[in-house]
Structure 1
Amino acid sequence: MLVLIVLLWQVQRRVLESETFHALDKLFYGHREQILEGLELNKSTAAAAINEDAQLGYEIVREIGSLVQNDPIRVQQIVLLQSFSLRKDMELELESLLLEDFDPDLVDYIGEIAKIKRDLIKSSAIRYLLAHESSILKMKHGRQVMIDAAGAAVRKKKYIDIFPDFIRRYADGLPRSRFLRLYQIVRRNPGLTWNGLRDQVSAIYNEHYRSDPDFQKWD
């Protein structure tokens, strides 16, 4: 029932005249605690209802997140986001959803973001992964999440500068396109060793890509 109220509120705010819209807005905000409590108690029901219209569902999730900013609400947002297929054209978020504690749903979400919207993988997300690395590696697909995040990070040299050890640990798992990006950055900066990352990249190149025409000769 609470999910239907949220759905109705979201749809109606698009079409109602200003006076009615403000009244409905006031009603929604006045009952936000009950709505959020209902969302907490009915994760599966909420996810099923919202999944009928993924785009509208995502807008509802974002709207709920704007009401209260704390870890329990962020967890609910993440769970709902994970309940439907994420697409590159969606206005996805990550920074605002990061938690203090380890949460496997958040880790899975970061893994999805790393694949479909790399530009959202920034320092704060990488620091979260590093803070919980041991727990993440115990997850079934935990290492792949770390590899995908490293692959997203190598899009910019600054992340290699800040997190060379992180990149080095997962460089051997990078897909060809992401390793090529890393290789190119390393090759353009011959004076930097990045705490052993340069040697690691050289070893991977020699083992797997030495005859690949897209890779220039190692200097």
Structure 2
Amino acid sequence: MKDQRFWDDLYGSREQLFSGNPNGVLVTEVSSLPAGHALDVGCGEGGDVRWLVERGWRVTAVDISQVALDRAAEAVGDDDVRWVRADLGTAPPAAGAYDLVSLQYFPLVRDDGHRALRGLLASVAPGGTLLVGAHDMADLAAHHEGAGHGEGVGHGEEPAREKPDFDLDSIYQPHEIAALLDDDWEIVVHETRARTAPAPEGTQHVRDIVLRARRLR
């Protein structure tokens, strides 16, 4: 599976890679939504999954890394969560199945015809929400000036390992996703805002770009 080895190695390099807290974009944008069925794309160690479950959501959690999924399942401890190892670039989710599709800092690589992205958009049910949270690329560019691309996942302190098959310039940005939304969608939020939590140590991630859209039909 594409890049699975990289992500398994990355998660396996530490006992805990992330804080375990839910992403601030998710908390801010989803707190007021009625619970339903959520797809967490790139669920990692399960911080967002736990938060959603605690608020009554049914969750399908997808990640390419089995190490991350095993760790998340243990941390969340909810037998009703569906944990799926998949590369959504090649295996799109079921169409119209989810009331919330959440991509928080997920490196979705562009492809010809936008197949992977269109698959994710199609998985949002009518009346459902697409939520994308991304780092402001201006912050990342400042942090990695002179260091080249493809370093963002490691914060510059990970041991050398094979990198995944993408660089920062190959990943969809929220404005590109917004441009592909047709009349079946209403853009509710599309803005750059300060992070609700301090930047991770060793990074300059101080602003998020947020895209929240509702599927009308």
TM bucket by the smaller chain? Answer: under 0.3
TM-score by length of 2: 0.26
Structure with the larger helix share: 1
Higher-strand-fraction structure: 2
**Higher-RCO chain (CA-CA 8 Å, sequence separation at least 6):** 2
TM-score (norm 1): 0.26
